[in-house]
Amino acid sequence: MGKATAELAVGLGARVTLASRNQEKLHAVASAIDGDVSVAAVDTTDEARVKAWAAGLGQVDHLVISASSAAHGAFSDLPTGDLRAMLEAKFIGPYVTVREVLPYLSEGGSISLFSGVLSRRPSAGATGLGAVNAAVEALAKGLAQELAGKVRVNCISPGMVATEAYADMPEEAREGMYAQIGGSLPVGRVGQAHEIAQAVIMAMTNGFLTGSVLDVDGGHLVRG
Ligand SMILES: NC(=O)c1ccc[n+]([C@@H]2O[C@H](COP(=O)([O-])OP(=O)(O)OC[C@H]3O[C@@H](n4cnc5c(N)ncnc54)[C@H](OP(=O)(O)O)[C@@H]3O)[C@@H](O)[C@H]2O)c1
Of the candidates 65, 55, 61, 14, the residue with the CA atom closest to the CA atom of residue 38 = 14
Check pocket membership of 163 for ligand 1, CB cut-off 6 A: yes
Question: Do the Cβ atoms of 93 and 45 come closer than 8 Å?
Answer: yes
Ligand 1 atom closest to the CA of 44, numbered from 1: 32
> What pairs with residue 157 in β-bridges?
215
Q: What is the pLDDT of residue 103?
A: 98
Share of the chain above pLDDT 90, in %: 99
Check pocket membership of 164 for ligand 1, CB cut-off 6 A: yes
Residue-wise burial string across 59-96, b where 16 or more C-beta atoms lie within 10 A, e elsewhere: ebbbbbbbbbebbeeeeeebeeebbeebbbbbbbbbbb
Nearest CA to ligand 1 atom 37: 20
- The phi and psi torsions of 160 (rounded to 5 degrees) equal -70, 125
Q: What is the pLDDT of residue 67?
A: 95
CATH of domain 61-222: 3.40.50.720
Q: What is the pLDDT of residue 52?
A: 98
Q: Could you tell me the distance, in angstroms and rounded to a whole number, from the CA of residue 206 to the centre of ligand 1?
A: 24
Q: What is the pLDDT of residue 6?
A: 98
pTM of the full structure: 0.98
- The phi and psi torsions of 138 (rounded to 5 degrees) equal -65, -35
Q: What is the pLDDT of residue 224?
A: 83
Q: What is the pLDDT of residue 38?
A: 97
Burial of 57 from C-beta contacts in 10 A (0-12 / 13-18 / 19+): middle
State which residues of the chain have pLDDT below 50.
none
How do residues 144-181 score in pLDDT, each as one tens digit? 999 999 999 999 999 999 999 999 999 999 999 999 99
Question: Do the Cβ atoms of 166 and 204 come closer than 8 Å?
Answer: no
Of the candidates 188, 193, 213, the residue with the CA atom closest to the CA atom of residue 3 = 193
Angle made by CA atoms 7, 168, 41, in degrees to the nearest 5: 45
Burial of 207 from C-beta contacts in 10 A (0-12 / 13-18 / 19+): exposed
